[in-house]
Structure 1
Amino acid sequence: MDQPIGVIDSGVGGLTVARELMRQLPKEEIIYLGDTIRCPYGPRPESEIVQFTLEMVDFLIKKQIKLLVIACNTATAFTLDLLKEKLDIPVIGVIQPGARAAIKVTKTKRVAVIGTEGTIKSQAYPKALKQISSKLSVSDLACPAFVSLVESGNYSEEKIKKVVHESLAPLKSQQGLDTLILGCTHYPIIADQIQAEMGSQVQIISSGAETAREVSTILSYQQLGYKGDRFPTHRFYTTGDPDLFKQIANQWMDDPVDSVKNVVIDQTKNK
């Protein structure tokens, strides 16, 4: 089916998911919208998160997407069920794929999750993990400073190391912890520093690759995949500064991001 896959996020973090989609589904066109002007979503009340997410979805639906990926853990936690009911296209979040990936690798059954305040407060990851395996011991920790750090585009090694060290201190004393879920799609951008802080005995899990595999499976099962042969042109939109978005994207994506467009999304329709 010659229609694009839509990807939404509160900012640039969802590029970590978009990159995996492009790697695993190289013929599919991606339309990405990052709500950078209102990022982060984590500290916001649920009503705002729902409203902002619906506004982004309305924008992408007008682009005639065939499948929606909510590449934001906070938005997934609060809107996945709503959007599945509201839309007549497949909707995929990042929490269930991340939980499944963690369960595959943990040996000690001791798993930790780091995320935004909203994701941690929702308890979406512990619920998803325990639903799959009740034998797990799950701890969680909000790391709000990570999103602001990533969105700033300031990737000074010294600054990142300091913020990561201070934020993860509560997890360092946990005995037997062998798996850490990056419960925010911004966090993989600083995954190397997180890994260095936690040590090689801890397996770091990012939901991007697992989410892309789920998208691939659904496209195949529902016969929605693109059948031709092409090098697709992906489209990137942001509600914030397109130059900063492009700068960050080109530090992270495999292929150059040549154009990013600024959009003003409808802030009245879903109120």
Structure 2
Amino acid sequence: MGTDRALAGLPHAGPVGVFDGGIGSFDMVRRLRAAYPKQDIIYLADRASFPYGSLTEHELLESVSRAVDALVGLGARSVILASNAPSVTILDQLAERSPVPVLGVKPPIAEALRAVQPDGRVAVLGAGMMIDSSALAGYVASEAANVGADEQRVVRVRADELIDLVESGEFLKPAVASEQVRGFLARLRATQEGIRALTLSSTHLPWLAGEFKRVAPELQLFDPADDVVASFASVNGGSREGRGELLCVATASERHTLEEFQGIIEALELDIKPNLITLVGGEP
């Protein structure tokens, strides 16, 4: 794995590695920094593997395993896989391989079902790979059973168009974001009745939470990151001895360049500078 001198001086006091295939996982970074101000974080945007939803489960496991190995190599004492699709489909296999604790993000279906009892329905929004997976079907059945609900009250909905909207940075244009969210919800309502709640089950989707609230204030929104942020202290102790340092590293490909990622960062007005790395076995 290649890196540069910018990585050399980071004080590692129990840093956590946070990653996914794009900008979506930075929302998790923001949440962690707010909850644990002294936590040191290594944020990896694995752009060379984006989108995770296009990979087979085998390819996905190999990809996220390389990312975890890279983060551990940089000093991470725990890792958050800030992507719902691999968390639902291959998290257990990843955790068995990892030398450090790994947390994932999964749709908060039971919580949403409890909130819309007795007959409201929940739409799980996410990447197509997760939505179509047998792993999610099993997870939905388990979560519904946990609260004594009919699993038919849970609707699985592909939201790839909204994920791409965020990853491209186009969501920063208010008119574009509003049109896309309105169209998405109109199509959802035309095919599914009784939707009372949405789970934002891609780490990209919380970037659109404000738009969802403006377009459909009657819908309850559930963010999978909530459970991870709440449980993180028990895994990593909150690392209160840290200094609140943030290191950003990124992979790149011909399709998704470092310059493209830097442009999105600047458009979001984030004060971070990505350092280019190459994951062992990954794309250069």
How would you bin the TM-score normalised by the shorter chain?
A: 0.7 to 0.9
CA distance in 1, matches of 2:100, 2:55: 27
Task: Give TM-score, length-normalised by structure 2.
Answer: 0.82
Residue number in structure 2 paired with 1:140: 156
Match of 1:265, SS state, is coil
The equivalent of 2:109 in structure 1 is 99
Offset at residue 203 of structure 1 (A): 0.6
Contact 2:33 2:244 survives alignment (8 Å): no
Structure 1 residues 101, 244: closer, same or farther in 2, change over 3 A? Answer: farther
Q: CA deviation at 1:44?
A: 2.4
Matched, 1:190 2:208: yes
How many Å separate the matches in 2 of 1:27 and 1:112? 36
Gaps of at least 5 residues in structure 2 are 1-11
Q: Which residue of 2 aligns with 1:262?
A: 276
Name the CA distance, whole Å, in 2 between partners of 1:66 and 1:18.
16
Is the CA contact (8 Å cut-off) linking 1:116 and 1:184 kept in structure 2?
yes
Equivalent position of 2:3 in the other structure: none
Runs (5+) with no aligned partner, structure 1: none
Distance 1:71 1:168 in 2: 25
So what's the TM-score if we normalise by structure 1? Answer: 0.85
Residues 17 and 71 in structure 1, CA contact (< 8 A), matched pair in contact too: yes
Residues 1:145 and 1:21: Cα distance change in structure 2 (over 3 Å): same
Picking from 1, 4, 12, the partner of 2:23 is: 12
Aligned equivalents of 1:149, 1:218: Cα separation in 2: 33
Distance 1:104 1:14, change over 3 A: farther
Against the structure 1 CA distance between its residues 54 and 88, is the aligned structure 2 distance closer, same or farther, given a 3 Å change threshold? closer
Cα distance change of structure 1 residues 128 and 156 upon mapping to structure 2, 3 Å threshold = farther
1:259 CA displacement: 1.6
Distance in 2, Cα, partners of 1:4 & 1:101: 30
SS of equivalent to 2:148: coil
Alignment of 1:150-169 (within 5 A): 150-154=166-170, 155-169=172-186
Q: How far is the alpha carbon of 1:227 from its aligned partner? A: 4.3
8 Å CA contact 2:113, 2:149 repeated in 1: no
The corresponding residue for 2:92 is 81
Query: Separation in 2 of the partners of 1:40 and 1:128?
Result: 27
For the residues of structure 2 that align with 1:101 and 1:243, how far apart are their CA atoms?
39
User: Displacement of 1:176 after TM fit?
Assistant: 3.0
RMSD: 2.5
Q: What corresponds to 1:236 in structure 2?
A: 248
The alpha carbon displacement at 1:104 in A equals: 5.4
Is the deviation greater in 72-81 or in 166-175? 166-175
Q: Which runs of 4+ in 1 moved over 6 A?
A: none
Query: How far is the alpha carbon of 1:165 from its aligned partner?
Result: 2.8
Answer whether contact 1:55 1:265 (CA < 8 A) is retained. yes
In the alignment, is the contact (CA less than 8 A) between 1:114 and 1:184 conserved in 2?
yes
TM-superposed deviation, 1:48: 1.8
| 1:213 aligns with one of 214, 230, 234 | 230
Structure 1 partner of 2:128: 117
The number of residues matched between the two structures is 260
Aligned 8 A contact 1:117 1:143 in 2: yes
Match of 1:176 among 183, 189, 194: 194
2:14 is paired with a residue of what secondary structure?
Answer: coil
Partners of 2:164 and 2:72 in 1: how far apart?
A: 28
Deviation, structure 1 residue 250: 5.4
